[in-house]
Amino acid sequence: MKIITLLCLILLSPVISAQENTTMKKKENKTEEEWKQTLSPQQYYVLREKGTDRPGDGGYTKHFDKGTYHCAACDAQLFTSGSKYESHCGWPSFDDAIEGSVKYVSDKSNGMIRTEIICTNCDGHLGHIFDDGPADTTGKRYCVNTTSIRFEKSKL
C-alpha cells in the first residue's frame, strides 16, 4: 500500500510542479510601485520605462576591469568582462551575453526597428542589440545602459 502511495506521489510530482510553474509568477515579479521604491529614479527610468542613458565615456563605457556585470534591478548575471569591447558608440558594449540571461524583444519605437534586450529574470530594460559588432567574434553589439548593470570585480 505504502509503495503504491509513494509511486503515485512520484508520478504525480512532475504534474504538480508543472502546474506550479505555470501559475507561479516570475522570480522577480515586483509591482511598478515596488520597483519605484527599490530603484533610483534613473534606474527606474531606464530599467522599467525603457529609457536610455546619455551617451558618453562615463559609467561603464570605458570600464574594462575583469569581472561580471549584473542586472542593476535583480542582480542576475548578464555579461562577463571577456565579452566587453570598445565600440566607440558611447555606451558599454558586449559581443555576447551569458546564455539565457537576456531576452530579445522586437522594438518599433521612435520610428526604428530594433531589437530590445531585457533581463530574463526581471524583464528590466538593458538596451538594444545590433549587427555591427566585432566580425571576428559574434558580429553582435549588445549596447547596454550603464544604469541597467552593476559590475562585480572578479575575485581571481
3-class DSSP assignment, residue 123: coil
* 117 binding Zn ion? (CB under 5 A): no
Name residues contacting Zn ion, limited to 68-107 (CB under 5 A): 71, 73-74, 76
**Neighbouring C-alpha atoms within 13 Å toward the C-beta of 122:** 24
C-beta contacts of 104-109 below 8 A and 24+ residues apart: 104/129, 109/50
Find the part of the chain contacting Zn ion (CB under 5 A) among 7-15, 19-27, 49-57, 113-121: 113-121
* 119 binding Zn ion? (CB under 5 A): yes
Active site residue 143: yes
Choose, by CB under 5 A, the member of 59, 92, 124, 133 that binds Zn ion.
124
CA dist 76 and 1 (Å) reads 45
- Grid coordinates of 44: 527606474
- Contact residues: Zn ion, CB under 5 A: 71, 73-74, 76, 119, 121-122, 124
Q: Known catalytic residues?
A: 143
